[in-house]
Amino acid sequence: MNGLLGLIDRPVHAVRRIGATVLFLFKIVAQVPAALRKPGYIVEQIYNAGGRSLIIIMLSGLFVGMVLGLQGFDLLQRFGSEDALGVAAALGLLKELGPVVTALLFAGRAGTALTSEIGLMRATDQLTAMQMMAVDPVRRVVAPRFLGGLIAVPLLTAIFNVVGVFGAQLIGVSVMGVDSGSFWSQMQSAVQTDDVMEGIIKSIVFGAACSLVAVYEGYHAAPTAAGVGLATTSTVVTSSVLILFLDYILTAAFL
């Protein structure tokens, strides 16, 4: 009987958590106009979440682009169409790898930092103190961090893509000997505005999802060292699964 109850309990708990997260999103959205009146806090958070993730994003972009260059060349060579390497790399990065890998890295680097920061603020009474000073922590702490992440992820994705294409070109053209003219001109003629838009929309959705999960987990973390640790782990796991799930939904919707 207990096992059966446990079996029902888990999905009920999961659905409750999804509901609570969506309600929390509504709370944040309601505070966005007030948060926008003090843009300085949002800019600070864009720097904290985005600026500080720049190095890891650029490094990862470079390596992903270089791998694309190698794998793409190997694959296309089999069909004698290695000139299309530029197109393959650009489309792969713009539509899939750019938004997904950036969001995954963002969740691991900035999402965990957000969760532990807000969780520790809760554990050390800072959020309660704000409430006692008649300051809504959702407006002052959560909304600027959510907006910061939402804005930072698309910008980071763009940078990831640029560095990634450069990495593919570095390997494909400079090392493997693909013709530079074909690499760039084929890319230019094959990549459509819709492809770019798909990447931008994906990165915005992933940014919103990662930031929401991070601030939700932090805000609702148990006010103990173990609670903050658990919340941080949960941020990475939930964000990663959510990004891949949303990626499938969005890809299916765009095709």
- Give contact residues for another protein (rule: CB under 8 A): 120-121, 124-126, 128-129, 131-136, 140
Which ranges of the chain would DSSP assign to H, the alpha helix? 2-36, 39-49, 54-78, 85-91, 98-106, 112-123, 126-132, 137, 143-169, 180-190, 193-219, 225-254
Q: Tokens 């941080």 appear where?
A: 232
Cβ atoms of 209 and 239 closer than 8 Å: yes
Residue 26 to residue 23: CA distance in whole angstroms = 5
Nearer to another protein, 87 or 110 (CB): 110
Nearer to another protein, 134 or 252 (CB): 134
Nearest distance, CB of residue 49 and another protein, angstroms: 14
Nearest distance, CB of residue 23 and another protein, angstroms: 15
Cβ atoms of 164 and 62 closer than 8 Å: yes
Nearer to another protein, 126 or 224 (CB): 126
Nearer to another protein, 129 or 175 (CB): 129
Closest C-alpha to 173, from 92, 61, 89, 60: 89
Query: H or E segment at 52?
Result: none
Cβ atoms of 232 and 116 closer than 8 Å: yes
- In the chain, how long is the greatest CA-to-CA distance? 70
Nearer to another protein, 116 or 186 (CB): 116
Nearest distance, CB of residue 161 and another protein, angstroms: 32
Nearer to another protein, 14 or 135 (CB): 135
Nearest distance, CB of residue 251 and another protein, angstroms: 39
Nearest distance, CB of residue 115 and another protein, angstroms: 16
Nearest distance, CB of residue 235 and another protein, angstroms: 20
